[in-house]
Amino acid sequence: MNKWNEETVVSEAVRAEDGLWMHEPSKTPQLLNPVVLAYMGDAVFEMMVRQFLIAQANHKPNHLHKQATRYVSAKAQRQLLERWAPLLTEEEADIVRRGRNTKSGTPPKNADPADYRQATALECLVGYLYYGRQVERLRELMTVAFETNEG
């Protein structure tokens, strides 16, 4: 195999391993603003919930939406963060504190402000793990969410 082919094979393997990562953030996850981490974490969390729901039997849109709200509402995310708390490393707990203490805007009218802050903290952690490419850790934590919220 010539040099170009070897580089192509390695490059394709790296791309396949990267999954949906297309653009690196401008800073390391540790230096990103917690609101930015939460912004990405919100999308990643929702995608993981949707993947889980689509893996289940009932694919009716109304059912999918109803089930998704069991995971993605501010109250549900606060409750999930409480279940995750004993499992978090010191570094993860620090990211959660940063996310909870950040000014992230006005909470939605239907969300309790305290729940909204905790939901932002959870999303901040998910964004941090995502950008840190800690996919296996994300899977571990999401498994807890799905085990305790099925039915």
Which pLDDT score, from 0 to 100, does residue 148 have? 60
Lowest mean pLDDT among 25-29, 42-46, 64-68, 104-108: 104-108
Whether 107 and 116 have beta carbons less than 8 Å apart is answered as yes
Task: Give me the mean pLDDT over the 107-136 stretch.
Answer: 92
Task: Please state, for a pLDDT cut of 70, what percent of the chain lies above it.
Answer: 83
- Cα angle 24, 21, 28 (rounded to 5 degrees) comes to 30
pLDDT for 103 equals: 82
Encode burial over 58-85: b for 16+ CB neighbours within 10 A, e otherwise.
Answer: eeeeeeeeebbebbbbbbbbbbbbeebe
To the nearest whole number, what is the mean pLDDT of the chain?
A: 85
Q: What's the angle, vertex CA 56, arms to CA 146 and CA 82, rounded to 5? A: 15
Catalytic residues: 42
Q: For residue 90, what pLDDT is reported?
A: 98
Per the model's pLDDT, the better-predicted residue between 23 and 71 turns out to be 71
Q: How far is CA 32 from the centre of its chain?
A: 15
pLDDT score for 58 = 83
pLDDT, residue 104, reads 73
Under the banding of pLDDT at 50, 70 and 90, the label for residue 150 is low
Would you state the pLDDT for residue 82? Answer: 97
Instruction: Tell me how far CA of residue 50 lies from CA of 1, 34, 88, 94, 129, in angstroms.
Output: 42, 24, 24, 28, 18
* Amino acid 71: pLDDT: 95
Helix (H, G, I), strand (E, B) or coil at 105: coil
Residue 137 is classified by DSSP as H
Average pLDDT over residues 108-134: 93
